[in-house]
Amino acid sequence: MRNYEITMEIAGPFAMWSRPDTGATPTSYPVPTWSAAKGIFESVAFFSDGKAWIRPVKVQICRPKWQKGGELFFQHYTNNYRGPLRKSGKDNFQFTTLILVDVCYRLYGHVENGSGRHLRHGDNPPHALQAIFQRRLQKGQCHKTPTLGWNEFVPSYWGPFRENGLFQTERDLDVNVNVISMLSQVFSRAVCGSYSPRFTQGEGALIKEGELRYAQ
């Protein structure tokens, strides 16, 4: 069966990929989780009926070609909490987080067949979703604005890989991090699943030469 591959680059001044194990003072993972990467892809294009869906395969940490590599930058960020755990009648309260600064990623994915039927000419949802995604990416169109974790962290760039032109990026081969435990998926299924978070350790939590391969 043909592989329907898609790729995109996304960059911005701030990013937050929350680690559940950091409790009341959230800290960001160095890279987006599998679910976060899936959400970025789906902000460009998705099928609501699930006949085809995008499975993230890997993510690469990138940098401008003229910039020194091997560094990840974090900073404190104060946020207002307005969630359901706020006490009735009380003002919003603030909490401090540790976010990433000046990030750039290349995301790789496969479009999967979710129809449950054999693919044939004229009835190939993965091919259709791949074509829609690539067309929108080239034109700068999207279903909704992609974000780098939290909604307020909008990207400074999203689109095809910047391999040519005045501003070029490349994979940062000097970044090697053992995340120890990485949130793999939030829901039991990729489409229409229930809340059932899963974590991965070992190879699935290792960033090698700027690349993390998502656990299958």
CATH of the domain at 100: 3.30.70.2660
**pLDDT of amino acid 109:** 97
38-76: string of b/e by CB count within 10 Å (b at 16+)?
A: bbbbbbbbbbeebbbbbbbbebbbbbbeeeebeebeeee
Domain range enclosing 102? 5-82+93-116+123-175
**pLDDT of amino acid 60:** 98
Evaluate whether residue 199 is within a structural domain: no
Kindly report, residue by residue over 140-177, the tens digit of the pLDDT: 999 999 999 999 999 999 999 999 888 999 999 999 99
- Count of CB atoms within 10 A of residue 178's CB? 12
**pLDDT of amino acid 136:** 97
Instruction: List the chain residues with pLDDT less than 50.
Output: none
Pairing of strands 93-113, 5-15: antiparallel
Evaluate whether residue 201 is within a structural domain: no
* Pair 11, 103: CB distance under 8 Å: yes
**What's the total number of domains in the chain?**
1
> Is residue 215 classed as helix, strand or coil in its secondary structure?
coil
**pLDDT of amino acid 195:** 80
